[in-house]
Amino acid sequence: MSSQTDMPTLQRCSAPKFLLWLSFWVLLLLWGAYGAFLCLYKGLNQTGMNNYFVFGVWITVDLAIIALGAGAFFSGFLFYVLRFNFLKELIGAAVVVGFICYSGAIGMLTIDIGQPLRGYFSFWHANVHSMLTEVIFCITLYLFVLTIEFVPLITENRRIREMPFLRHLGENLHGIMVVFALVGTFLSFFHQGSLGGMFGTLFARPFSYRTGVAIWPWTFFLFILSAIAAGPALTTLVVWATQKITRRRLVNRPTLSRLAKLSAILLVIYLVLKAADTIYWANFTAPEMGFRFTDFYKSPYGMWLLFGEFYLFGLVPAIILLIPRARDNDFWLVIGCLFTCMGIVLNRFSFTIQTLAVPVMPFEKFVVYSPTWQEWSIVAAVISYGVILFSLAYRYLHLFPREAELNG
């Protein structure tokens, strides 16, 4: 790309049409902004969280979108380091999706903590023993990396390229992007793992607690694996959706299939390891702590959660995407990728909400959590923020290098 001096002018929809599209998402964003304002102004009593459910839908979504955002670092790693050249077609989109996921997660975390203005204390007074410290550090640093990875995309904008300094900056950054890709991989690896560790080390929470090798490296790698399996699935979904919405071909169809195949292979590995983990936990860890497996699955957090996570949104999409004919079919590709993504959301849900729902003290009861509209509004806002940013990026930046050629 750096060699190209002249970018082709790409065809985009009319401004009013684009504004109409944006306005819907902006409205959603404003709704979220109102919810956020209430939470910041009145405090977290606006949420459905309580002393049992100290983490709610926000943390679930945080964990999920960080996992789904793993597409960025993983694609970067594959492309820049392992030279998977077919990814060139959508590496830009993957970076933008990653940036959206990480910045969205940090934004949501800021509202989630009770004292956002003191948020920097976790850097200033960092406690090195805390998994959360590790997560916060890595997420923040990785967001910086993503920002830097974002810069060359911006500098490729036609107008911006007119300024020599910025053009040079962009081109030089491109040259050293492999370094950032490596740094990003390193950081991501850590915090994806730590996010698992955050719950895996909670020895008071028998549902997510793992001992010995099951926590390190097991849980760590389970989290990383599930993230890098789901990340490409989301990238595939986003690209497919962009193609559908813009009615333009943006990448080669086989590229999507290859990405999906990658996702499926990783998913299978993950599922095997996860099964081993679950079996060991159900048969050894939990009984050692005085629990039967079924103690953890009480209404409404019933066994269906495990079933859904493992079979419906695990094995099923893995099998679909492993079949070449299925993943070459748009319908099955989308179903496969969507189920993969839902699987990870369900997994992160279990790790947060269900973990907290299981009573710790014998004389406590199972509790149920339901989020308030304020919580949903902020989730919606993060999603609409992502849509808006991606739309802008698509419209004004050159996200898909082969777009001109494919629509030529």
Partner 1 sequence: MKVDRRIFLKTLAFAGGGSLGFLSSPAPWHIVRDLARWTQNWPWVPVPPHGQPAYEKAICMMCDGGCGIKVRKVGPRMVRIDGDKDHPLNRGLICPHGTAALQTVYGPSRIRQPLKRTGTREKPDWKPVSWEQAIGEVAAKIQEIRAAGESHRIVCITNNCESTVNQLLERFLQAVGSKNLVRMNSGRDVRNVALKLMQGVDGDMAYDIENAKLIASFGCSLLEGWGTWGRLYRSYARTFADNPVQIIQVEPNLSITASKATQWVPIKPGTEGALALGIAHVLIRERLHDEDFVEKHCFGFEDWEDSSGKGHSGFKSHVLAQYAPQAVERITTVPAKEIEKLAFKFAENMPAVAVGGKGDGQLFTNVYELMAIHSLNALMGNINKTGGVFVKPEVPLTPLPPVVMDEEAARGYAVDRLDGAGSAAHPFSKSLPGNLKADEIRMLFVHDSNPYYAMPEQNTAHELFEKAPFIVALSCCMNESAARADLILPLNTGLEKWDDQIVAPDSPHPIYNLSRPLVEPLYDNKDAGGVLIEIAKTLGGTIAESFPWASMGEVLEMRVQGIHETGRGMIASPDAMAMLDRGLGPEGSLSQQYPSFASLWKKLLEDNCWFDPEPHHGPLQKALLTPSKKFEFYSQRLKDAFGFEEDAACMPHYEEASLNKDGFDLVIMAEDTLTMADDGKDTPPFLMKQLSDNVLKGNELFVRINPITALYHDLEEGDRVIVESPRGKVEVRLHLFEGVREGVVLIPLGFGHSAYDEFLRDKGVNANEVLEAKTDTITGLPIWWATPGKITKV
Partner 2 sequence: MSTESPQQSVRYGMVIDLDKCTGCGNCAVACHMENNVPFRTDESDKSRNMAWLRIYKVKNGAEYPHARVAYIPRPCMQCDRHTPCVSVCPASATNYDKSTGLVDQINTRCIGCRYCMAACPYMVRCFNWWDPAWPADAEKYLNPDVAPRMRGVVEKCTFCSHRYIQAKNRARQEGRNYLEKGDYIPACVEACPVEAMHFGDLNDPEYEVAHLIKSPRAFRLLERLHTEPKVYYLSSHEWVRRWADNDAVNTQSAYSQQRQGVES
Told to check if 3 binds partner 1 by CB under 8 A, we report: no
**Closest distance between partner 1 and the C-beta of residue 114, in Å?**
10
**Cβ 366 to partner 2 shortest distance, Å:** 9
Q: Which does 163 bind (CB under 5 to 8 A by kind): partner 2, partner 1, none?
A: partner 1
Rounded to 10 degrees, the C-alpha dihedral 131/133/134/136 comes to 120
CA angle, 34 then 338 then 184, to 5°: 75
Q: Interface mask (CB under 8 A) for partner 2, residues 9-48, using x and -?
A: ----------------------------------xxx---
- Which CB, 102 or 199, lies closer to partner 2? 199
Per-residue binding letters, 340-359, with partner 2 (x by CB under 8 A):
---------------xx---
Closest distance of CB 129 from partner 2, Å: 5
* Token code pair at residue 144: 């910086």
| Nearest one of 283, 314, 315, 305 to 358, comparing CA atoms | 305
325 lines the binding site for partner 2 (CB under 8 A)? no
Residue choice 9, 16, 363, 408 for contact with partner 2 (CB under 8 A) = 363
Q: Which is nearer to partner 1, 111 or 225 (CB)?
A: 111
**How much helix, strand and coil, in percent to the nearest 5, is found in the chain?**
75, 0, 25
Nearest Cα residue to 371 out of 36, 47, 46, 34:
47
Task: Give me the amino acid identity at 265.
Answer: I
Contact window for partner 1 (CB under 8 A) among 34-42, 51-59, 111-119, 141-149: 111-119
308 to 127, 269, 283, 346: CA distances (angstroms): 37, 18, 21, 8
Q: Is 83 in the site for partner 1 (CB under 8 A)?
A: no
Q: Which of residues 143-202 bind partner 2 (CB under 8 A)?
A: 198-199, 201-202
Count of CB atoms situated within 10 Å of the CB of 171: 16
Does residue 163 bind partner 1 (CB under 8 A)? yes
Residue placing its CB nearer to partner 2 in the complex, 15 or 128: 128
User: At its nearest, how many Å lie between partner 1 and the CB of residue 120?
Assistant: 7
290 binds partner 2 (CB under 8 A): yes
Residue matched to tokens 């071909």? 249
Q: C-alpha angle with apex 193: 219 to 335, nearest 5 degrees? A: 80
Interface with partner 1 by CB under 8 A: which range of 116-124, 224-232, 275-283, 285-293? Answer: 116-124
Binding segment toward partner 2, per CB under 8 A, in 110-118, 224-232, 234-242, 310-318 = 110-118
Both tokens of 219, joined, read 């849980």
- Report which of 294, 341, 302, 340 is spatially closest to residue 320, judged by C-alpha positions: 340
Q: Is 121 in the site for partner 1 (CB under 8 A)?
A: yes
- CA-nearest of 190, 226, 196, 183 to 76 is 183
Asked if 119 interacts with partner 2 (CB under 8 A), we say: yes
Q: Are 91 and 146 in contact (CB under 8 A)?
A: no
Tell me: does residue 115 bind partner 1 (CB under 8 A): yes
Asked if 387 contacts 25 with a C-beta cutoff of 8 angstroms, the reply is yes
Which partner, partner 1, partner 2, none, binds residue 362 by CB below 5 to 8 Å per kind?
Answer: partner 2
Determine which helix (DSSP H) or strand (DSSP E) holds 275, and give its type and residue range. helix 253-280
DSSP 8-state symbol, 207: T
Using DSSP, state whether 87 is helix, strand or coil: helix
Which residues in this chain contact partner 2 in the complex, by CB under 8 A?
43-45, 50-55, 112-115, 118-119, 121-122, 124-127, 129-133, 136, 198-199, 201-205, 287-292, 295, 355-356, 360-365, 367
Which residues in this chain contact partner 1 in the complex, by CB under 8 A?
115, 117-118, 120-121, 163
